[in-house]
């Protein structure tokens, strides 16, 4: 089973991992870290598929994953896919003036 470790003090509550988790098991909690940011928590680790999305999109390297189910080449491709998708969403929001 994949093992997820959230390095609480690195988290800046951006919510990217929450958006990119296909299992919807990550959530920004009410708890604050030592820098005053709300910490992300995993609400059901049993459901984690080990896809690695959360680790690749986190800009602060706050999530570690062991026993991932994808190999590093797949992870790189997935990372590129996730970042491309995030950038195109950000661009279209910018174009719409949102
Ligand atoms: S590894 Fe995948 S399924 Fe598990 S918490 Fe991260 S994004 Fe969600
Ligand atoms: S992507 Fe990283 S910094 Fe952003 S909310 Fe998730 S764990 Fe925190």
Q: Are 38 and 29 in contact (CB under 8 A)?
A: yes
Mean pLDDT in residue range 91-95: 79
Domain count, the chain: 1
What CATH number does the domain containing 55 carry?
3.30.70.20
Ligand 1 in contact with 40 (CB < 6 A)?
Answer: no
Specify which residues 41 forms β-bridges with: 27
Over the range 56-66, which residues count as b (16 or more CB within 10 Å of their CB) and which as e? Answer: bbbeeebbebe
pLDDT tens, 25-80?
999 999 999 999 999 999 999 999 999 999 999 999 999 999 766 665 566 677 77
Model pLDDT, residue 88 = 81
Cα 21 to ligand 2 centre (Å): 11
Model pLDDT, residue 96 = 80
Mutate to test the pocket of ligand 2, among 5, 10, 11 (most ligand atoms within 8 A of CB): 11
Model pLDDT, residue 69 = 63
Ligand 2 in contact with 14 (CB < 6 A)?
Answer: yes
Residues 6+ apart with CB under 8 A from 26: 17, 18, 40, 41, 42, 43, 54
Locate the ligand 1 atom nearest the alpha carbon of residue 17 and give its number: 7
Residue 40: both structure tokens together: 């992300």
Model pLDDT, residue 81 = 77
Domain that holds residue 47: 3-95
Instruction: Look up the pTM and report it.
Output: 0.76
Per-residue pLDDT at 11 exceeds 60: yes
Mean pLDDT in residue range 4-14: 96
């Amino acid at each position: 089973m994949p093992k997820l470790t959230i390095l609480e003090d690195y988290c800046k509550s951006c919510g990217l991992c929450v958006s990119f988790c296909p299992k919807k098991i990550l959530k920004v909690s009410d708890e604050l870290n030592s820098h005053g940011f709300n910490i992300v928590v995993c609400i059901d680790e049993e459901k984690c598929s080990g896809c690695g999305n959360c680790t690749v999109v986190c800009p602060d390297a706050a999530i570690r994953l062991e026993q991932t189910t994808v190999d590093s080449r797949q992870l790189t491709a997935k990372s590129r896919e996730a970042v491309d998708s995030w950038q195109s969403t950000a661009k279209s929001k910018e174009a719409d003036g949102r």
